[in-house]
Structure 1
Amino acid sequence: MSQAKWVILFNNFKISDTVVTSWLIIAGLALASFLLTRNLKKVPTSKVQIFLEFAIGGLANFVTDTMGENTVKKMPNIIPYIGSLFLFFVCSNLIGLLGFRSPTTDLDTTLAWALITFFMIYYAGVKFNGPGYFKGLLEPIPFLLPLNLIGELAKPISLSFRPFGNILGGAVIMALLYDFLAFLSTFIPGGAAIPFGQLLIPVPLHLYFDLFAGVLQSFIFIMLTMVFVGNAAE
């Protein structure tokens, strides 16, 4: 699996293919959001609006049950944030099926998401508990302050490396598999021109690494975000 490549160069200003792919995902989600919500009515009559209201209502209930009603009431923007993060995360994992480089195979992307969660934890802690929130670092005894600080710093590290490692590992395995199947195709008459093995054999692995693992890692990330922020708010 190759590293991210610079695809836009303007003097010293460089943009990698990871950033470009992220822009494409954001543009696609924005366009889909516009097209799906441009004809909404107070009383839903279309199946699309009924589905959207069902999905958004389910998301709101899920976030409220996980983080607590009081937390969501004081941080109402957390619901659209969690929903947007999940959609962006899932699309980033699945876009590799279209031949693009998945943003989650770049540590910069997952680290940026993890840092947003990290700062949101302290925002919620101070918003709900004031500066006294930081007294928790001295519990149960002040002597454990260094260990508590290490534990806090471990949160963004674990949040960023978990999806990065899982998605990158799957991408590496699939790349090696395709190379191996291409090599085997050279022993079949006409196989080098039409690598039949690459058309069928990787499908089950794509279903696992790209679909199942991608959605699972997205769900784990938003769950950890809600749990960490919810605990800080308490």
Structure 2
Amino acid sequence: MDISIDFMLNGNTYTIQPEIVNVTIVCIVLSILGIIIGYKAKKADFRENPKGLLLLGEMFVETIENLVEATMGKANLGFVPYIGSLVIFLAVSNLLGLVGLKPPLSNYNVALAMALVSVTLMHVNNIRFNGIGGYIKGYFEPLGFLFPINVLGELSTPISMSFRIFGNILSGMIVTTLAYSALNSLSVFVTPFLAPALHAYFDVFSGLIQMFVFVMLTMININGAIGERTN
């Protein structure tokens, strides 16, 4: 079911990998869903209880608000839109295996891009709340000679975050493929009974766990960068 796109440019053939196509599909679908929920929210009567998609949207937003408040503090609720977007994007992306598509984060380019966005947000808000002087000073703490180590630590953050989710998603996809091959070699009648268990673990359980770990690391890193806030 995966689709790759080939195109010619200056006499050379380039291929857009299926994972990149899939991440585009996810973004389009989630954007349309967001527009629909936003339209329903504008038209909703505040005197009536929400229902359907609007109810699910409100429940999701409330859950993310509670998660951000518990992890980053009430003063950082401004990060709810980004954390919420991250949660729903990673969750949907990691569950694509259930419909026979390659999860986008099984491509390291996608995983690294997600990590770089989170790390960029961390540095931007560090400067925003602590000033450029406080930002630079942080690299010399607790002792000045630790500056090179602190710089290396910051450079390693996007690499460790991206490799963690990329490695787990890719390994899950590989193990599932190998398991399918092994089951089919034994009997094609066995596969339909064991396939749900494989997908339940590698696509649902493992995929959602990796989403949660990535989101938690994002919040912890941002919170650690900007420091404690009371307002």
Q: TM-score band, normalised by the shorter chain?
A: 0.7 to 0.9
- Matched position secondary structure for 1:8: strand
Question: Which residue is 2:21 aligned to?
Answer: 20
Question: Which residue is 1:163 aligned to?
Answer: 165
Question: Which residue is 1:199 aligned to?
Answer: 192
Q: Does structure 2 retain, via aligned residues, the 8 Å contact 1:25–1:92? A: yes
Amino acid at match of 2:27: I
Amino acid at match of 1:10: M
**Match status 1:8 vs 2:2:** no
Percent identity (aligned): 36
- Matched position secondary structure for 2:119: helix
Question: Which residue is 1:108 aligned to?
Answer: 109
The unaligned stretches of length 5 or more in structure 2 are none
**Match status 1:47 vs 2:51:** yes
Number of residue pairs matched by the alignment: 218
Structure 1 residue 96, shift from structure 2 partner: 1.3
Question: TM-score of the superposition, structure 2-length normalised?
Answer: 0.87
Q: Does structure 2 retain, via aligned residues, the 8 Å contact 1:71–1:233? A: no
Question: TM-score of the superposition, structure 1-length normalised?
Answer: 0.86
Inter-CA distance 224–44: structure 2 relative to 1 (3 Å threshold): farther
Structure 1 residue 103, shift from structure 2 partner: 0.5
Question: Which residue is 2:135 aligned to?
Answer: 133
The unaligned stretches of length 5 or more in structure 1 are 186-194
Supply the distance in 2 between the matched residues of 1:43 and 1:58 (Cα, whole angstroms): 22
Q: Does structure 2 retain, via aligned residues, the 8 Å contact 1:44–1:50? A: no
Structure 1 residue 6, shift from structure 2 partner: 4.5
Query: Which string of whole-angstrom CA distances, capped at 9 and with x for unpartnered residues, describes residues 171-210 of structure 1?
Result: 111111111122223xxxxxxxxx2122111221211111
Supply the distance in 2 between the matched residues of 1:149 and 1:209 (Cα, whole angstroms): 35
Please, which moves more after superposition, 21-30 or 54-63?
Answer: 54-63
**Match status 1:68 vs 2:68:** no
**Match status 1:148 vs 2:150:** yes
* Superposed CA RMSD: 1.9
Question: Which residue is 1:232 aligned to?
Answer: 225
Structure 1 residue 112, shift from structure 2 partner: 0.3
